[in-house]
């Protein structure tokens, strides 16, 4: 499949390439480059997955929880925040993200099985974790707001004490 293609003269009067292009050779080169790129991407993806699995296994040994519920909750809290968790569900219903088929979930399940020898409770405890994530996020926000109020009250009290101390030192003005 050869085609004779002549390129139009360049306006900058640089040398112009004319001649026959072997389209089949170009297609083969493109396929080879694509396959090399695809192989490189797949290798990078495999490496990323292996790294993730390693981190999850490490996570499984670092989480010292004795109960399955505590282990699942602690593990998920190390991976994502309650704000993110409140936007996820096990099955992805009501427009929320599905966590059931994520690589992190599969790796956690494996670590759970290594620690507890079964995976019957993993799904149940994970569902409960995501169901209560919104409440946890709301409670954390309320706690932070109360802490800010306490700090504001303390600042106002300290400011008024400082002013009264200054007035006593300087005397009536």
Higher pLDDT, 153 or 15: 153
Higher pLDDT, 77 or 3: 77
Mean pLDDT of the chain: 76
Which pLDDT band, with edges at 50, 70 and 90, does 13 fall under?
very low
Which pLDDT band, with edges at 50, 70 and 90, does 104 fall under?
confident
Lowest mean pLDDT among 5-14, 75-84, 86-95: 5-14
Which pLDDT band, with edges at 50, 70 and 90, does 118 fall under?
confident
The residues near 56 (Cβ < 8 Å, ≥ 6 apart) are: 104, 107, 108, 110, 111
pLDDT digits (tens, 9 = 90+) for 129-154: 988 888 888 888 888 888 888 888 87
| Cβ atoms < 10 Å from Cβ of 126 | 22
Higher pLDDT, 47 or 20: 47
**pTM of the shown model:** 0.51
DSSP codes joined into one string, 40-93 = HHHHHHHHHHHHHHHHHHHHHHH---SSHHHHHHHHHHHHS-HHHHTTEESS--
Distance between CA atoms of residues 4 and 10, nearest Å: 18
* pLDDT tops 90 at residue 167: no
């Amino acid at each position: 499949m050869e085609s004779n293609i002549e390129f139009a003269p360049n306006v900058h009067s640089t040398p112009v390439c004319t001649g026959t292009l072997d389209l089949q050779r170009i297609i083969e080169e493109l396929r080879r480059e694509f396959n090399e790129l695809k192989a490189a991407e797949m290798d990078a993806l495999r490496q990323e997955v292996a790294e993730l699995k390693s981190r999850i296994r490490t996570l499984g040994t670092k989480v010292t929880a004795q109960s399955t519920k505590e282990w699942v909750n602690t593990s998920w809290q190390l991976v994502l925040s309650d704000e993110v968790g409140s936007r996820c569900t096990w099955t992805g219903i009501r427009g929320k993200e599905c966590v059931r088929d994520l690589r992190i979930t599969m790796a956690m399940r494996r670590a759970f099985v290594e620690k507890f020898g079964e995976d019957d409770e993993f799904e149940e405890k994970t569902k409960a974790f995501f169901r209560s994530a919104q409440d946890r996020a709301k409670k954390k926000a309320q706690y932070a707001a109360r802490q800010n109020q306490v700090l504001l009250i303390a600042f106002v009290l300290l400011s008024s004490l400082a002013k009264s101390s200054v007035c006593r030192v300087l005397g009536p003005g």
